[in-house]
Chain A
Amino acid sequence: MPFEPVILFFALGLLAGIIRSDLKIPGVLYESLSIFLLLAIGLKGGIELAKVPLSSVAGQAGVVLAVALLIPLAAFPVLRNLIGLSRADAASVAAHYGSVSVVTFAVAGAFLARNGVDVEGYLVVFLVLLEVPALIVGVILARQGGDTQWGRLLHEVFSGKSIVLLLGGLVIGWVAGAEGIKPLDRLFIDLFKGLLAFFLLEMGLVVAGRLGDLRRAGIGLAAFAILMPVAAGVLGIGTALAIGLSTGGAAMLATLYASASYIAAPAAMRIAVPEANPALSIGAALGITFPFNLLVGIPFYHWLAVQARSVMP
């Protein structure tokens, strides 16, 4: 199975960070790259969405969303009772794991494309849908009836750039269709992988900078950060096959369920659950789960999807 070279850029960034290289990606470039990636992913999903009837996607999306809510609800008691985190910390970590990582999704797409595996392109719709609900579940778990500034939180998550750009790109791609987007292909399609590689270089540097947080996380949370994505990945494959996705689609949905948010969730949790320690959730989601999914998880979920497909009648 061919190795996906973009993750080598992540490894390079990680190495550069560990040896304390003076390599630094300017904050504005990081912002620009993330805007590009979000728009490009949205556009590609929108183009694919235009090719299928919306009603069939809506049914699948409902199931995907309902099952996804199990992830934070299952993670919370594990974090609270087995790992012994405070209520706020457990809820915040559960929200991070219930939400999704756009970059992990993009790398999974690149990995499957390189291996010639077909994927339903409209899965970006699920990416958009899964980002927010877990954050709301996390806040409810943290508060349990206490007062929360819901208006502010909802504004924060729905007006956040990732939702605006993903959803905006999705609608533009859907309205314009493949022909309409063609003049933009060179930017949004051809350059995508190169810029993803650039972004992963930066992510390597960021992860290297958070390695100190891992020491604070402790062994229990570290184990959670590996076992939780695997369990969620299995759930994703089961769900995908139940709603009739392809093997590639199952690997993608497994990756989505397995991934943990490290952009939208930290920002939302910081505002909504301020007493939660961000070093714990970011250390686990970004320090362990993100590299685990990139290096081991994605090929593993694909393998698992192939196995599951082969035993299906």
Chain B
Amino acid sequence: MSCSLHQRKLLTIICESALEAEVAEALARHGARGHTVTDARGRGTHGLRDGSWSAGANVRFEVLCDEATALELLTVIEENYFPDYYMVAFLTDIQVLRPGKF
């Protein structure tokens, strides 16, 4: 049996956990049909973010969507959050089943 795969984008956003509710809302408002959030730890330009305590914790959002939506979402978070918050965001090409879902 063969399966049919479709090109989509994976938008990954890693940001401070204080923003979780706000980013989730912004994603939904600008066309994301869903997202996955996980707790994240790491080190970057803002030092160690070890997740042991709420103000030092990060979350990672993953959104599967088409390219136009992904670019819009990137623009929204770049304008609203990049200046003041600890945040990185990047796009990856992926292939999905059930294209109507994303």
- Count of chain A residues with a beta carbon within 8 Å of a chain B beta carbon: 21
Docked-complex contact A206 and B56, CB < 8 angstroms:
yes
Given A270-B16, A271-B18, are A263 and B52 also a contact pair (CB < 8 Å)? Answer: no
Docked-complex contact B51 and A27, CB < 8 angstroms:
yes
Given A274-B85, A275-B84, are A206 and B52 also a contact pair (CB < 8 Å)? Answer: yes
Docked complex: A1-38 residues within 8 A CB-CB of B:
24-25, 27, 30
B79: min CB distance to chain A, Å: 13
B82: min CB distance to chain A, Å: 11
Our pick among B47, B54, B83 for the contact of A267 (Cβ within 8 Å) is: B54
Cβ proximity bits B9-40 to A, threshold 8 Å, 1 near / 0 not: 00000001011001000000000000000010
Our pick among B22, B51, B53 for the contact of A271 (Cβ within 8 Å) is: B22
Docked-complex contact A209 and B55, CB < 8 angstroms:
no
Contacts of B56 in A (CB 8 A): 206, 209-210
Q: How far is the CA of A249 from the CA of B100 in the complex (A)?
A: 64
Cβ proximity bits B38-64 to A, threshold 8 Å, 1 near / 0 not: 010000000110111111110000000
Q: Is A157's CB within 8 Å of the partner chain B? A: no
Docked-complex contact A30 and B55, CB < 8 angstroms:
no
Q: Is A188's CB within 8 Å of the partner chain B? A: no
Taking CB as reference atom, which chain B residue is nearest A152? B22
Taking CB as reference atom, which chain B residue is nearest A24? B52
Q: How far is the CA of A278 from the CA of B57 in the complex (A)?
A: 13
Given A274-B84, A274-B85, A275-B84, are A267 and B22 also a contact pair (CB < 8 Å)? Answer: no
Our pick among B16, B18, B53 for the contact of A206 (Cβ within 8 Å) is: B53
Given A270-B18, A271-B18, A274-B84, are A282 and B55 also a contact pair (CB < 8 Å)? Answer: yes
Contacts of B19 in A (CB 8 A): 270-271
Contacts of B16 in A (CB 8 A): 270
Q: How far is the CA of A210 from the CA of B16 in the complex (A)?
A: 16
Q: Is A236's CB within 8 Å of the partner chain B? A: no
Q: How far is the CA of A81 from the CA of B12 in the complex (A)?
A: 42
Q: How far is the CA of A275 from the CA of B47 in the complex (A)?
A: 18
Contacts of B18 in A (CB 8 A): 266-267, 270-271
Contacts of A220 in B (CB 8 A): none
Task: Please report A residues at the B interface, Cβ cutoff 8 Å.
Answer: 24-25, 27, 30, 152, 202, 205-206, 209-210, 212, 262-263, 266-267, 270-271, 274-275, 278, 282
The 8 closest A-B pairs by CB, nearest first: A274-B84, A266-B55, A270-B18, A206-B53, A275-B84, A27-B51, A267-B18, A27-B52
Q: List 20 A-B contacts (CB under 8 A).
A: A27-B51, A27-B57, A30-B52, A30-B53, A206-B52, A206-B53, A209-B48, A209-B50, A209-B52, A212-B47, A263-B54, A267-B18, A270-B85, A271-B18, A271-B19, A274-B85, A275-B83, A275-B84, A278-B55, A282-B55
